[in-house]
Structure 1
C-alpha cells in the first residue's frame, strides 16, 4: 500500500475509535438517570384537561355508557355530576405518582408515564 492509504486508514480508525468511545460514554450516562419514564402526562390516555385544571386540578373524561361499566367510578377523586352524565372528573392536584399508579391500576386505565412507571 502506498503511504497515503496507510495515513488515511490510520486517521479513519482513530476517529472511529474516538466516536464509538464517546457514544458508549453517553449511553452509559443515560442509564444512571432517574426513574423511567422521566415525565408523565397530566391526564390518563383519552382524558382531557378542563379549563379549570390550572386552579383546581380537575381532569375530565368523556365516555360512552359502555365504558362506565369498566369500574371507572370506584377510585378516589372520581365523581359523576349526576347519574346520567357521561363526564367523569379526577382531581390530581395533590396526588403522588404512586397514588396515580394505584388509581390507574384499580380502574384499568392506560396512563402514559404512570401505568408503566418504575421507581
Structure 2
C-alpha cells in the first residue's frame, strides 16, 4: 500500500473518531425535556362524530355495528360509569367528572377507552399517566 493512502486513511479515521466523540458528548449532555406524547388529543374517539351547540361539545356514540364502538353498550352507560353521558347517546368529554381524585382527565379518559376497547388517537396512546 502506498504511503500516501496510509496517511489519508489514518487522518480519515482520526477525524471520524473525533466527530463521533463530539456527537456522543453532545448527546450525553443535551438537556432533554420530558414531554407527554402525543401533545394533542382528538376531541372524540376515532370515527365518532362531534356535535356542538350552546350547551357544549358532545361526541355522538356510533350505532351498533359501526366502526370503533369496541365493547361499549350504550344501554349500560350512565353518568356514573361514564361522566358526561347524555340520554341522547352523546358524551361530553369536557365534563368535570373526568377529573377524578387527582388524576387528570386524559388519564381517566384513557382508562375508560381502554376498558371499552375504543381507539382514541391522542388518548389511548398517551404515555404520561
CA deviation profile, 1:15-56 (whole Å, cap 9, x unmatched)? 575368538729x766x5223333322221221323x27982
Q: 2: distance between equivalents of 1:5 and 1:55? A: 78
Q: Work out whether 1:109 is the aligned partner of 2:118.
A: yes
Alignment of 1:23-102 (within 5 A): 25=27, 32-50=33-51, 52=52, 56-64=56-64, 70-72=72-74, 73-74=76-77, 75-81=82-88, 88-94=89-95, 95=98, 96-102=105-111
Judging by fraction of residues, say which structure has more helix. 1
Calculate the TM-score normalised by the size of structure 2. Answer: 0.54
What is the DSSP-based 3-state SS (H/G/I as helix, E as strand, rest coil) of the residue aligned with 2:112? helix
CA contact (8 A) 2:106 2:123 kept: yes
Higher relative contact order (CA 8 A, sep 6+): 1
The CA deviation at 1:91 is: 1.1
Q: Work out whether 1:118 is the aligned partner of 2:120.
A: no
4+ residue runs of structure 1 moved beyond 6 angstroms?
none
CA RMSD of aligned residues (A): 3.8
Q: Count how many residue pairs are aligned between Structure 1 and Structure 2.
A: 109
CA contact (8 A) 1:76 1:103 kept: no
Show structure 2 runs of 5+ residues with no match.
99-104
Q: 2: distance between equivalents of 1:20 and 1:59? A: 53
